[in-house]
Amino acid sequence: MSNENGKVLKHGTQTRTMHWIHLLAFIILGLTGVGFYWDIGGIASIFGGEANASLVHRWTGVVFVVGPLLYTLLNFDRFSRFMDTISHFSKDDFAWLKVMGGYLPFIKADDVPPQDKYNAGQKILGWLIIIGCLLIILTGFPMWLWRHSVPAVFLSFCYDVHFWTAMVLILLVAGHFFLAAIHPKSRVEFSSMMLDGYIDAEITAHHNAKWFAELKESS
Amino acid sequence: MSTVLSEGVIHVSNDCKACDHCTFICPTGAISGELGQKHHISPKKCINCGQCLINCPFNAIHDLSRIEELKKALADPQKFVVVQEAPAVRVALGEEFGQAAGTNVKNKMYASLRKLGFDKVYDTEFTADLTIMEEGTELIHRVYGALGVPGFEEVGPLPQFTSCCPAWIKYAEDNYPLVLPHISSAKSPQQMWGAVAKTYLAEKLNVDPANMFSVSVMPCTAKKYECERPEFISSGYQDVDLVITTRELAQMIKDAGIDFMALPDEEADRFVGLSTGAATIFGATGGVMEAALRTAYEILSGESLGKVEFDAVRGLDPVREATVEVPVKALGTSLPVSVCIVTGTKHVASVIEDVLAGRSKYHFIEVMNCPGGCINGGGQPIRRDTY
Amino acid sequence: MKLFHESEGITRRQFFKGAGMLTVAAVISGVFAKFGFDVFAASDDYITQRVAGLYTLDESMAIRKSHENPEIIQIYKDFLSPGKVECVSPKAHHLLHTKYGKDIPGFIAELKNPHHVPEVESAANEETSTEEPAA
């Protein structure tokens, strides 16, 4: 354990706002979507019946698309740095993956390799969420706007991709939530994304040693 | 029996994923439901065409099936089961057995029907030819009537619409009752065949028509509705007892464990089973028109047609028109016969409006509900081609 | 308390990665759209093929005109108009013609009352329309 004092601004205001918007949209979309797929009348009635639930789903979908799109365009530098980080896998990342960051109880890990701003698991999650969102958004368009003109086979393909991608994303996000808000080792990160954006320097120095070294150098 | 008439043939099952694809397919707006809401078909507005069924991404729409009843009839030694098959069935049935679309399996189809236990196997194409004779003659009478030829004052008005498509008939009855006098009074080939089978054929074969069970294999779900209509009793019995679709026939063949493609090539039985090329093309849009032109031209002109193909009426555009110069021997002049072909009931409204307003320049209008004609009917094998 | 901030601005490499990701997203969208259009283009092919199948079958038939069908000639001569080929003969009219819409109930009554058939049929005119024929 290092003994660093001070605080690190991990996520800026816009990042946190985007994360909140995306999170809330995702919950509404997931809830209504699951309601449609398994035909759970109770969920639809929360949103005012089948047709209204569908309207809520679609317009929340618009928020789900526009939110990250605006963020990316307004914060192209942050986005670029993020893409750079998650697309760079070093030896340390693979070593981290080998012990799964020490999160799994049956893999013994005394010393977890030093990580970037995002650890290897978060990098993979980042990729999966980007690809998943892209697939869900792309398939959502024909299902809503061109549902009358596309062939049946294409429409059913879109429904399948939309649903299965959503299922994978829901599971990923559930895991993400568990690690970021519940797991005792990592829930310290919670405030950095959900509240003021700051995290203790000590934690950063421990969890994201490589990134912290960069921060120290530049400040 | 009357359930088909009151409740329709096509129903949305609970598998509906509320994708709303079908509301645009439906030519009559019979399907209700918003995106996200389970859809429902109003039997009053539905013309039973089954286009929604073959285009449902989730196969959640079904047609009423009486296949069990047919199996019982086939097993009943008392019943003399005869069968007719529509032209469009023979180029699509093979698809259920791994053949490419458009593969002609006519002769194997006859063989498979005999194997399934039908007593005699005939062909709707025979009455397609009969339709041309009757409907063509009616058209000639109407043209004479319009030209003021004496003796034809009491005929119906021009233009004449075809009457082969039961979905189109119900559409006209439901939406444009004023256009009904324009529709040819000739029955559809299926119903002609039913009427002829229980009279002429029963006489020829010396079979009691009461024991005759008349089955029809159709590419069409609306035919299931048509055969139950109460006016089709001119033989003294219900003319056609039961209709199965191409899909249902394929299912029966599979259920019976018949190796379809290994069947020998057979021919249809005599008296009401012989067909011509003119009848074969009934299954395609423009086919009835072309068949009618072949016969009308030769009868009116007294000359033999050199080239029997009328390419002008072929194609897949929803509304097509053509003018054919026909020399009329009886009048000593040549008559430009103006024809129109509509495929897809969605496109027929403007043509009807023109007719009702007296603006229509056509003599003969063919209307088929399904895009492309009967070959794309609601009872045909469902295609999900991606390449 | 010391506050650590990330430095602003991006390096060349970071820019290419960000722009690259946007490009990849655009390419994936394009591929998806291409797939959609291909499916759309192929979705009606079977209609063309089935129609072509019928026309090919027509060409292979020995007889290609309805009035030359020997069984058609036979049914008229033996049954519908004994001794000759006469379309819309009374019997043909009875068996092969129908009525539509509001005329159906009367038509059914007529069919169910067979001895009336010959008289009604000879007077044959079911088109009771008052409309002028469009020339």
Report yes or no: B235 and B191 within 8 Å, Cβ to Cβ.
Answer: no
Which residue of A38, A59, A143 is the best one to mutate when testing the B interface, meaning the one whose CB has the most B CBs within 10 A? A143
Interface confidence, given as ipTM, is 0.92
3-state class (DSSP) for residue A71: helix
Q: What's the topology of domain A7-12+75-218?
A: Fumarate Reductase Cytochrome B subunit (1.20.950)
> How many Å lie between the alpha carbon of C22 and the closest alpha carbon of chain B?
28
Distance CA A19, CA C48 (A): 51
- What pLDDT is attached to residue B387? 63
In a domain, B45, yes or no: yes
The pLDDT mean for chain C works out to 81
Question: Does B170 qualify as catalytic in the annotation?
Answer: no
Element housing B309 (H / E): none
Query: B154 Cβ partners below 8 Å, 6+ apart?
Result: B145, C125, C127
pLDDT tens for B253-296 read: 999 999 999 999 999 998 888 889 999 999 999 999 999 999 98
Range A21-33 average pLDDT? 94
Report yes or no: B363 and B205 within 8 Å, Cβ to Cβ.
Answer: no
| A68 has a pLDDT exceeding 80 | yes
Confidence class for position B223, pLDDT limits 50, 70, 90: very high
In chain B, what residues touch C123 (CB-CB under 8 Å)? none
Among C55, C58, C49, C56, which Cα is nearest to B95's? C49
Among B263, B223, B270, which Cα is nearest to B114's? B263
Which residue of C8, C12, C14 is the best one to mutate when testing the A interface, meaning the one whose CB has the most A CBs within 10 A? C14
Question: Does B125 qualify as catalytic in the annotation?
Answer: no
In chain B, what residues touch C111 (CB-CB under 8 Å)? 231, 233-234
Picking from B24, B38, B57, the nearest residue to A50 by CB comes out as B38
Q: How many residues does chain A have?
A: 219
In a domain, B371, yes or no: yes
> In total, how many domains does chain B have?
3
> Where a domain ends, among B277, B310, B333?
B277
The 10 Å Cβ neighbour count of residue B246 is 28
Chains with 3 or more CB pairs closer than 8 angstroms to A? B, C
Query: B382 Cβ partners below 8 Å, 6+ apart?
Result: B54, B59, B247
Distance CA A43, CA B139 (A): 60
Distance CA B139, CA B128 (A): 16
- Residues B195 and B256 reside in one and the same domain: yes
| B165 has a pLDDT exceeding 90 | yes
Ramachandran class of B54: left when φ > 0, alpha when ψ lies in -120 to 50, beta otherwise: alpha
- Residues B79 and B213 reside in one and the same domain: yes
**Inter-chain residue contact C42 with B129, CB threshold 8 Å:** no
How much of chain A is in helix, strand and coil states, percent to nearest 5?
A: 75, 5, 25
- What pLDDT is attached to residue C9? 78
* Amino acid at the residue A4: E
Query: C90 Cβ partners below 8 Å, 6+ apart?
Result: C118, C121, C122, C124
Report yes or no: A21 and A67 within 8 Å, Cβ to Cβ.
Answer: yes
- Residues B246 and B164 reside in one and the same domain: no
Chains with 3 or more CB pairs closer than 8 angstroms to B? A, C
The 10 Å Cβ neighbour count of residue B354 is 17
Q: Which of B85, B95, B135, B228 is catalytic?
A: B135
| C134 has a pLDDT exceeding 50 | no
In chain B, what residues touch A152 (CB-CB under 8 Å)? 21, 55-57, 384
Range A124-141 average pLDDT? 93
Range B307-334 average pLDDT? 88
In a domain, B144, yes or no: no
Confidence class for position C2, pLDDT limits 50, 70, 90: confident
pLDDT tens for C21-48 read: 999 999 999 999 999 998 888 888 899 9
- Residues B260 and B348 reside in one and the same domain: no
Alpha-carbon distances, residue A131 vs A134, A157, A165, B26, B58 (angstroms): 5, 17, 9, 36, 26
Q: Is C115 near chain A, with CB under 8 Å?
A: no
A57-66, A193-202, B160-169, B362-371: least confident range: A193-202
Q: Which of B163, B184, B188, B214 is catalytic?
A: B184
3-state class (DSSP) for residue C128: coil
Both structure tokens of C119: 């008289």
In a domain, B143, yes or no: no
Distance CA B282, CA B101 (A): 17
- Residues B26 and B82 reside in one and the same domain: no
| B50 has a pLDDT exceeding 70 | yes
Distance CA B183, CA B195 (A): 20
Confidence class for position C109, pLDDT limits 50, 70, 90: confident
> How many Å lie between the alpha carbon of B199 and the closest alpha carbon of chain C?
9
SS (H, E, C) B209-226: CCCEEEEEEECCCHHHHH
Domain that holds residue B331: 156-186+285-375
A150-164, B122-136, B209-223, B300-314: least confident range: B300-314
* Amino acid at the residue A154: F
Among B246, B282, B255, which Cα is nearest to B164's? B282
- What pLDDT is attached to residue C123? 41
3-state class (DSSP) for residue B245: strand
Confidence class for position C114, pLDDT limits 50, 70, 90: low
Q: Is B24 near chain A, with CB under 8 Å?
A: yes
What is residue B319's DSSP assignment? E
Greatest distance between any 2 Cα atoms in chain C: 116
Segments of chain C assigned E as strands: 3-4
Report yes or no: A159 and A140 within 8 Å, Cβ to Cβ.
Answer: no
| A2 has a pLDDT exceeding 60 | no
* Amino acid at the residue B103: T
In the sheet where A7-9 sits, what is the strand order? A198-200, A7-9, C3-4
- What pLDDT is attached to residue A10? 83
- What pLDDT is attached to residue A109? 65
- What pLDDT is attached to residue C98? 92
> How many Å lie between the alpha carbon of C55 and the closest alpha carbon of chain A?
26
Work out the percent of chain B whose per-residue pLDDT is above 70. 99
**Inter-chain residue contact A130 with C36, CB threshold 8 Å:** no
Confidence class for position C119, pLDDT limits 50, 70, 90: very low
Question: Does B46 qualify as catalytic in the annotation?
Answer: no
- What pLDDT is attached to residue C125? 44
> Where a domain ends, among B40, B63, B86?
B63
| C-alpha A80, offset from chain centre | 16
| C133 has a pLDDT exceeding 60 | no
Sign of the dihedral through C-alpha B129, B134, B140, B146: negative
**pTM over 0.80, yes/no:** yes
B78-82, B316-320, C86-90: least confident range: C86-90
- What pLDDT is attached to residue C126? 43
Sign of the dihedral through C-alpha B137, B142, B143, B148: positive
pLDDT tens for B78-103 read: 999 999 999 999 999 999 999 998 99
- What pLDDT is attached to residue C135? 37
In chain B, what residues touch C126 (CB-CB under 8 Å)? 185
Query: B124 Cβ partners below 8 Å, 6+ apart?
Result: B84, B85, B86, B87, B189, B190, B193, B216, B279
Query: B377 Cβ partners below 8 Å, 6+ apart?
Result: B49, B50, B88, B218, B219, B220, B221, B246, B370
The pLDDT mean for chain B works out to 91
Report yes or no: A197 and A13 within 8 Å, Cβ to Cβ.
Answer: yes
Map out the domains of chain C as residue ranges: 12-60, 66-122
Confidence class for position C122, pLDDT limits 50, 70, 90: very low
Which residue of B23, B34, B376 is the best one to mutate when testing the A interface, meaning the one whose CB has the most A CBs within 10 A? B34
In a domain, B384, yes or no: no
**Inter-chain residue contact A50 with B21, CB threshold 8 Å:** no
In chain A, what residues touch B58 (CB-CB under 8 Å)? 156, 159
Distance CA A186, CA A194 (A): 14
Answer whether the bond into residue C70 is a cis peptide, omega within 30°. Answer: no
Work out the percent of chain B whose per-residue pLDDT is above 90. 68
Question: Does B184 qualify as catalytic in the annotation?
Answer: yes
Both structure tokens of B57: 């991404």
Map out the domains of chain A as residue ranges: 7-12+75-218
Cβ-in-10-Å burial (0-12, 13-18, 19+) of B317 comes to middle
Contacting C residues, span 71-100, partner chain B, CB-CB under 8 Å: 71-72, 74-76, 78-80, 87-88, 92, 94-100
Q: Is A212 near chain C, with CB under 8 Å?
A: yes
**Inter-chain residue contact A152 with B17, CB threshold 8 Å:** no
Distance CA B25, CA A153 (A): 14
Report yes or no: B349 and B328 within 8 Å, Cβ to Cβ.
Answer: no
Distance CA B218, CA B232 (A): 17
- Residues B95 and B182 reside in one and the same domain: no
